[in-house]
Amino acid sequence: MKISVEQPELDYPVTVMQLEGALDASCYLEVIEKAKSIYLAGTRDLLLDFSQLTFMSSAGLVALHSIALIMRGELPPDPESGWSVFHAMSHDIEQSVQLEKHCKLLNPQPRVVKTLKITGYDRILAVYTDKQEALASFSA
């Protein structure tokens, strides 16, 4: 997994974090830690660029859920606490009536889109195919 972070030159602060490769059990904790570190550095709005993400496992879903919570200023559940993490994820998806404001997705590949749809994450995370449109959505 390769993680890159950029701060586009905008009138409002947005961080873009691009993930390249597979988001699975081998790297999900690293991805969560990266999100925590950029949040602690001041990031409050995060665009996750999934254009180079080839696969997302259930561990990747844990990372995605954790990142959304971090960007909301909430503590994510311990990612290694087993099924309770999945229960928390399911509860958040069922209870969510609006899209996340501080965490959005850009260009997920078809395989990843399928995972997002099956799990319901496409109902709580806005998905964009145009980077400029995605970035502009944070200013609204």
pLDDT tens across 45-80, in order? 999 999 999 999 989 999 998 999 999 998 887 777
Domains, the chain, ranges and CATH? 2-136 (3.30.750.24)
The CA R_g of the chain, rounded to the nearest whole Å, is 14
3-state secondary structure at position 60: helix
Kindly indicate the confidence band of residue 89, based on its pLDDT and cuts at 50, 70 and 90. Answer: low
- Give pLDDT, residue 98: 58
C-alpha span between 69 and 130 (Å, rounded): 24
Is the pLDDT assigned to residue 39 strictly greater than 90? yes
Kindly indicate the confidence band of residue 87, based on its pLDDT and cuts at 50, 70 and 90. Answer: low
Q: Are 47 and 134 in contact (CB under 8 A)?
A: yes
Question: Within 10 Å of residue 113's Cβ, how many Cβ atoms?
Answer: 17
Mean pLDDT of 102-123: 93
Short-list 97, 114, 135, CA closest to 10: 135
Mean of pLDDT over the chain: 90
Count of CA atoms in the C-beta half-sphere (13 A) of 63 = 21
C-alpha span between 23 and 1 (Å, rounded): 7
Short-list 46, 22, 18, 43, CA closest to 103: 46
C-alpha span between 66 and 140 (Å, rounded): 24
Residue 130: what are its φ and ψ, rounded to 5°? -115, 120
